[in-house]
Chain A
Amino acid sequence: MLILTCPVCGVTAEETEFHAGGEAHLKRFGPGSSEQDFEEYLFMRENPRGVHFERWRHVYGCGKWFHAARCTTTLEVFGTYPAQTLEPPADLCKSISKKRPGWSWREFS
């Protein structure tokens, strides 16, 4: 079970108080984009074994969205950060590197 800390209200709770919202940091490709970009945006998702970045919503609490970095094999949560972020924060990536040397996720590592 995941223990997540909502960066908005500061509450730490287990995952049943939250709701997963899929992969984080997707860039939307809409009308006018190429078919390949649209297909990748729509269907292609990371399914890593190890470090993963996701969107979560504190659905039973403050109701706000946020981002979480976690390990899909050990369920260790590396950290959570605000939804208003376009990419994983550098200091979080650094702390993940200490625990999982050589990790990579999409273009981040």
Chain B
Amino acid sequence: MSEPITALGGAVSQNGIAKVAEAAREGMITLRGDVTSAAVKKALKSVTGAAMPGAGQMATSGSYTLCWMSPDEVLVLCPADTVGDTLTALQNAAGTAHVLVVNVTDARASFTVAGPLAREVMAKLCPVDLAPGAFEPGMFRRTRLAQVAAAVWMPEAERFRIVCFRSQARYVFDVLCVAAQEGSAVGAFN
């Protein structure tokens, strides 16, 4: 049996104004369907314990997190070792509801940017208002990160999580490192 690995083998860069690191492998399941329907909401709630979040939000319950991706898509984060069981449980719970549930754990790469200047590093790359108060933990934003698509959220203050396509992992890591170069603080949010 081959061992699942992350795209960059846990690359870390902490020479700059924020620590950029590839995140540990985390289970990701995409559910597409009418996420406003009672059947889908109920299925998500029964499996993950979390209520379906509103637009641009995320909801956590225990080790599960639901992220609002679009009006017909939700991303389920779960521990990597339970992703298979969660997938089956979601499929069973959805029953006859018209949904697509797919394990995308290894289709994605995930990074963290941490430190007091993490907001600045992200603001250099994303066309998003990342000022304190405008973007806070609990919000979930799909956006453009330099030249590629990414999803961004804050697990806690001063820490960002970024999810992108696995094939773009090296690009995203490098561009984050450039944005976090030593001496590149802007002071935009001071």
Contacts and interface: CB of A to CB of B under 8 A. Distances in A.
B55 A61 contact: no
Dominant SS among interface residues on chain B: strand
Interface in B137-153: 141-144, 149
Contacts of B141: 11, 61
Contacts of B70: 8-9, 61-64
Contacts of A75: none
Interface residues of A, number: 14
B91 to A, nearest CB: 23
Contacts, number: 35
B16 interface: no
Contact of B142 (A10, A14, A16, A61): A61
B127 interface: yes
A14 B143 CA distance: 11
A9 B71 contact: yes
Interface in A4-34: 8-11, 13-14, 16-17
Interface residues of B, number: 12
A16 B56 CA distance: 19
Given A10-B56, A11-B141, A16-B127, A60 B71 contact: no
A17 B146 CA distance: 10
A62 B56 CA distance: 10
Contact of B127 (A14, A59, A63): A14
B69 A17 contact: no
Contacts of A64: 70-71
Nearest to B150: A60
Contact of A11 (B56, B69, B71, B149): B56
Instruction: Choose among A11, A14, A62 the residue with the greatest number of B CB atoms under 10 Å from its CB.
Output: A62
Given A60-B142, A60-B143, A13 B127 contact: yes
A6 to B, nearest CB: 10
B142 A62 contact: yes
B59 interface: no
Given A11-B141, A60-B149, 14 more contacts: A9-B55, A9-B56, A10-B55, A10-B56, A13-B128, A14-B127, A60-B143, A61-B70, A61-B142, A62-B69, A62-B71, A62-B142, A63-B70, A64-B71
